[in-house]
Amino acid sequence: MKFQPDTLAGVNPITRQEAGCVWVGSSAFRHSVLVPWRGDVLPWPAAALADLTAEHFERVAACKPELVIFGSGTRLRFLPPALMRSLYEQRIGVETMDTAAACRTYNVLVAEGRNVLAALLVEPSI
């Protein structure tokens, strides 16, 4: 699915999402990533939902977003709340959806100038 967001200077638009790959601007990422609305895109060492630990979400919290859009892979899957405790303790909002929906939602929030971070599971394509 190709996205055509409005161009905003200095932000990280997600321009495309497909099986096993997410594009941020003109860069392709074939692994899970943290995409802050501004700044560097960061690798997120988790290939699957079962790989995620509380430490993964502590890394998300360290980015200081006001809202996290968690993309759970090819289908919607929810995490145990204990994994996201560091986010809740810092009053950071969390929304969970499949990765394609997370990419679209992230772009809408970025266009509004929100301090949002997309935490995206990018599952290897088969």
27 CB-near residues (< 8 Å, 6+ apart): 41
Question: Hey, CA dihedral for 14, 43, 20, 97, is it positive or negative?
Answer: negative
- Domain chopping of the chain, boundaries: 14-120
pLDDT at 96: 97
Residue-wise DSSP of 69-88? EEE-SSS--PPPGGGGHHHH
Please report, as a single letter, which amino acid is at residue 70. F
pLDDT at 112: 94
* 9-20 pLDDT per residue, tens: 789 999 999 989
Query: Does residue 1 have a pLDDT over 90?
Result: no
pLDDT at 5: 47
User: What is the dotted CATH code of the domain comprising 14-120?
Assistant: 3.40.1230.10
The phi, psi pair for 97, rounded to 5°, reads -160, 170
pLDDT at 126: 63
* 92-126 pLDDT per residue, tens: 999 999 999 999 999 999 999 999 999 999 988 76
Q: How confident is the model at residue 3 (pLDDT cuts 50, 70, 90)?
A: low
Has this prediction a pTM greater than 0.85?
A: yes
